[in-house]
Structure 1
Amino acid sequence: MSDHQSPAGDNQPFIVLNPDGSCTRFISFPCSPSTPDQDSNNPVLSKDVAINDNLCKTGVRIYLPKETLITSVGKLPLVVYHHGGGFVLFSAATTPIHNFCNHLAAHLAAVVVSVDYRLAPEHRLPAAYDDGMEALHWIKSSKDPWLTDFADFSDCYLMGSSAGANLAYHVGVRASRQLHDLEPLKIKGVILHHLFIGGVERTGAEIRLADTGGMLTLSRCDAMWDLSLPVGSSREHEYCNPMAGGGLDDVMGGMKKVGWRVMVTGCYGDLLIDRQMGFAKMLELKGVENECFLGEGYHGIELYDELKANELFDAISDFMSSITIHKH
């Protein structure tokens, strides 16, 4: 039996690998039910829909601003969101993630589809990437009225937080090569919120902020990569370090060719900030249009600080609006 330290800031294991190959997780966050009742006081409705209930047990939680049901504002932008958790923890129902998506849908006046993907180590990468692509194919052909009646499939954005941002990036690279197969879904941009990437060689921020007492420390990063990467892989694997071995050359024939824009958000107190800024710089050098939104705080702060979340959502709204103007 082996264990890995809790992300809650104590010395208790956050996951135990059992001798039979199963895992026991010790998750410190509660889960929240969906809120589909139109007669409730919730400004945003949500509901859970299964995608692959038999094989992978994957699904989505869809968020719809309730005012859309009573006003004729036209169809809303579609944000396909992927949650964080180092690929090994949490779900779309985890309370901070659920609340974040609620606020995201309300602030942007958008339909948000939060993807519930398979977790490692039971399902190591690229399983999560596969599930992200499956979700896009499900959305494009879905008959769910919340999507068909209220979501503008021609105004779609991929987004994720932390490991979910990593997932959104890799799904974006795949999707950029399957545009015809994804019609009528038209992706316009990718929003990478506190991108979770790594590497073998330590950055200055990783050394300086290795044990800051926050949710994400360097040892926990290493542990999550050990649990999620293909067995025997190092942190130089392209899933962890997209810049290793010319990995970003992939976007030359993908995101750059289709003209998508990328938004990279981060905080200076995040030990991954050097990698995130390096990633954005490399995108720029490769000719991919991108912009950065950087501020004070720690990894994932917007999931817990409403003021910071509102600042982020304002920046995302500006990013999406600039794409709409640019396209016209």
Structure 2
Amino acid sequence: MASSATKEVAKELLPLVRVYKDGSVERLLGSPYVPPSPDQDPQTGSVSSKDVTISHNPTVSARLYLPKPTAQTHQKKLPIFVYFHGGGFCIESAFSFYSHRYLNHLVSQAQVVAVSVEYRLAPEHLLPAAYEDCWSALQWIASHYSKTGDDSTKDPWLSNHGDFERVFICGDSAGGNIVHNIAMRAGVESLNDGGGVKIFAAIFSHPYFWGSEPIGSESSDNHEKSMCYIVWDFVYPSAPGGIDNEMINPVGPGKPSLANLGCSKLLVCVAEKDELRERGDWYYNAVKESGFGGEMEFFESKEEDHSFHLFDPETENAKNLIKRLASFLH
């Protein structure tokens, strides 16, 4: 078997992914796989986790998190926090170190049942595969609320502890983009649960949006060569309209109204030094001006860059962001 040093490269998205002519894919960035912590994680000592299979065809799985009961939560149902990881749709995982560590911290503080979705990645599975997988995961979560159906497919952590009137969807970066597209779909399509489960709130953390025209202080020089532009073409080369497809550029003529977002509340989080900061602000204001009837909140982390809280959740600003999310979840 040829080593990666001798194989011919077909295409690459540096510094993230390299694809070889034999069809193999090498991911150049991303944190390592870590196992779940069924007996409570070593970081907080208060969160258990396990991996579950949602679907076999296609393969969709998730890591579930359950906080240790406290005197305040022992008899209460907990909010359900559905998380879509970032990584440009082509790296990282629900089972990776960054996601696992971050969710242990958040679940411990926020006291929620979390479902971190393992969706299929590009380039093996180009978009819209990730969107479909995340929608399927949400359907599976909603099925726990129905009194009918196959109980063998239901997980007791969700059935016994989840509050299906408080379902939150959240994502970082590409995951924030998924949140938008799932919420838009939920605005026009019911969850297949038979019990009326709806998304209560959506959290967009440093969301990945882009477009052919620069906004704000974005440079017009080499705009088409920006990483944000190149990633989209790599993960969704057949997208109608390219970089102005409504899934990556949700604002503009002919786009579905953002008033149709299928949630009652939303929170948009940005980081001051993030290249995507102005897109997050632009999205928040576009939703506000659309006539969206729900509650809206905006939170900015000063002096920080893209997804900083995933790389080190112990910094003061990361703790402040997690505290803000925990507050929103309650």
TM bin (shorter chain): 0.7 to 0.9
- 1:294 corresponding residue in structure 2: 300
Cα distance in 2, alignment partners of residues 83 and 180 from structure 1: 21
TM-score by length of 2: 0.84
Give 3-state SS (helix, strand or coil) of 1:247's partner.
coil
Structure 1 letter corresponding to 2:21: P
Cα distance in 2, alignment partners of residues 151 and 117 from structure 1: 22
Q: CA deviation at 1:138?
A: 0.9
Q: Match for 2:135 among 108, 118, 133?
A: 133
Cα distance in 2, alignment partners of residues 244 and 228 from structure 1: 22
8 A Cα contact 2:19 2:26, kept in partner: yes
TM-score by length of 1: 0.84
1:224 equivalent in alignment to 2:231: yes
8 A Cα contact 1:156 1:188, kept in partner: yes
Q: Which runs of 5+ in 2 are unaligned?
A: 1-9, 145-153
8 A Cα contact 1:206 1:272, kept in partner: no
1:247 equivalent in alignment to 2:278: no
- 2:271 corresponding residue in structure 1: 267
Q: Which runs of 5+ in 1 are unaligned?
A: 7-13, 211-217, 322-328
Give 3-state SS (helix, strand or coil) of 1:235's partner.
helix
Q: Mean Cα displacement is larger for which, 177-186 or 99-108?
A: 177-186
Structure 1 letter corresponding to 2:167: C
How many residues align? The count is 303
Q: CA deviation at 1:131?
A: 0.7
Q: CA deviation at 1:301?
A: 0.9
Give 3-state SS (helix, strand or coil) of 1:317's partner.
helix
Q: Match for 1:279 among 283, 302, 312?
A: 283
Q: CA deviation at 1:17?
A: 1.9
Cα distance in 1, alignment partners of residues 254 and 296 from structure 2: 19
- 1:26 corresponding residue in structure 2: 28
Cα distance in 1, alignment partners of residues 17 and 228 from structure 2: 14
- 1:195 corresponding residue in structure 2: 207
Aligned-pair Cα RMSD in Å: 2.6
Q: Per residue, is there more helix in 1 or in 2?
A: 1
- 1:215 corresponding residue in structure 2: none
The superposition leaves residues 193-220 of structure 1 with CA deviations (integer Å, 9 ceiling, x where unpaired) of 0000111122344439x9xxxxxxx733
Identity across matched positions, percent: 36
The superposition leaves residues 76-101 of structure 1 with CA deviations (integer Å, 9 ceiling, x where unpaired) of 11110100001111100111111111
Q: Match for 1:79 among 69, 76, 81?
A: 81
Q: Match for 1:185 among 197, 203, 221?
A: 197
Give 3-state SS (helix, strand or coil) of 2:284's partner.
helix
Structure 1 residues 38, 105: CA separation in 2 closer, same or farther (over 3 Å shift)? closer
Q: CA deviation at 1:236?
A: 0.8
Structure 1 residues 66, 154: CA separation in 2 closer, same or farther (over 3 Å shift)? same
Give 3-state SS (helix, strand or coil) of 1:37's partner.
coil
The superposition leaves residues 21-66 of structure 1 with CA deviations (integer Å, 9 ceiling, x where unpaired) of 442212342121101126978310000001123x222111001002
